[in-house]
Each structure stands twice: as structure tokens, then as C-alpha cells.
Copies of this chain bind each other. A is one copy, B any other.
Amino acid sequence: METKIPISVDCVIFGFDDKELKVLLIKRSQPPFQNCWALPGDRLRIDEDLRHAANNVLDRLTGVRDIYLEQLFVFGRLDRHPSDRVVTIAYYALVNISENEPKPSSFASRAEWIRISKIGDLAYDHRKILDKALRRLRRRFRGRPVGFELLPEKFTLSQLRRLYEAVLDQPLDKRNFRRKMLKMDFLLPLEEKQKDVAHKAARFYSFNRERYEELAAQGIRFEF
């Protein structure tokens, strides 16, 4: 009985650009699914550590590197590949788009940040993988405040709210959001305010990571 099975790794890299949530996709230059959009992914080599394989694949296809990837799920349906049995391990991350410009190589003819709302079907079962990653990401954001590493050092509450709105794909009430966030006591109001804006200048805040870790250890939860 054959028990050696091809394994692949696929990466769902979410990106935020101060307005929208996007995903890093490649266009495949070879079959199967030639010319289709797909998640960056490739076979695992037998001498490759699992922890590094996803990063290697991502780098090889898109030039994006040094990303902290988390395991999402294993997809192993018998029919998920058109001609072969391939079990794939999916990873995901959320990064700042401005710091991660993709450059396609290997069998990727293109590598681009694509808006979630513009993504249709993808190669293999990649659409399913993307949807699962989206659910996981949203659960994360609901579970506790995250994503501060995607904002500049000093940010306004509107910037923070836009991040949440982009990830959760829903408008959030301004006052309610403000009240809940400030209540939790890990945002440090700064003296400084926005300059040169047409509207009323908004206050800047910084993120108090120490206080946040304390609260996280106690199991804070952010609900809308």
C-alpha cells in the first residue's frame, strides 16, 4: 500500500493598505490551471522543514519574505487536485501592503495584491482555503484587538476603525467603536494632533503593548 503522498504548502497573505483588505495572488504560467489566479503555493521538498517551507515558497513565487506565517488548516480531499493526490497545508498572515511589494518569479507570471471583493474562483480549492482564512482572520479580530502592527506608530481612531472595517467587511459605528476601544485602556492619547487637515484635527494615539499584554492574559474580548 502506497503511503507516500505529495504535500504542498499554500499561503494566504492578507494585506492592508489603510483602506482595504487585499490578498496576494499569483497567476500560474503552467498547467494545471494555467493562466488562473491562485494562492502562492508549491510542493514541500522532503528535506524541507515545515516551518520554513511556506516562507520559501512565498519568496520563490512572489519575492515577499520574512513574514510570520501561521498554520491555518490541512486540505486533503481526494478530489482537490485534478490529476494527483496532493495534501496541502495552508498558512496565513496579515501584513502591511506598503512594506511588501511582490515581484513574480518561477511559475508565477504575475504576483499582485487583489481586493477581496474582486476575487472570483481560484485554481484548485484555493477559493475554499481563502474563505477559511478569512473566517479565521475575522474571528481573530473579534476575539481580541489585533492588527496594531499594521498601523503607523501614531494613529488616529479613524485609522484604527478603517482597519477593523476592512477586515470585518462591515461599517462600524464611530462613537461606539471609539467608546469600546478607549474603555480598554491600552491606547495612549498623545498631545499631538493631525495637522493640515480640512476637518477638525483628530488626536493621535499610540499602542501600549505592555498594558495590552496584561489585558490579553486576562482574556479581554472585543465585541461589536
Contact = CB atoms under 8 A, between A and B. Distances in A.
Most chain B CB within a 10 A radius of its CB, from A2, A74, A75, A221: A74
Contact of A4 (B5, B47, B143, B219): B5
A7 B140 CA distance: 29
Given A74-B50, A221-B221, A7 B45 contact: no
Closest 3 CB pairs of A and B: A50-B76, A4-B4, A3-B43
Contact of A78 (B49, B85, B142, B221): B49
Interface string A10-49: 0000000000000000000000000000000001111101
Contacts of A51: 76-77
Contact of A5 (B44, B71, B75): B44
A221 B73 CA distance: 24
Nearest to A80: B50
Contact of A3 (B6, B71, B75): B6
A49 B71 contact: no
A197 interface: no
Nearest to A87: B7
Interface of A: 1-7, 43-47, 49-51, 71, 73-78, 85, 87, 89, 142-143, 218-219, 221, 223
Contacts of A219: 142, 221, 223
A146 to B, nearest CB: 15
A87 B6 contact: no
A74 B76 contact: no
10 contacts: A3-B45, A4-B4, A5-B46, A47-B78, A47-B85, A50-B76, A50-B77, A51-B76, A71-B74, A219-B221
A217 B49 CA distance: 38
Contacts of A47: 78, 85
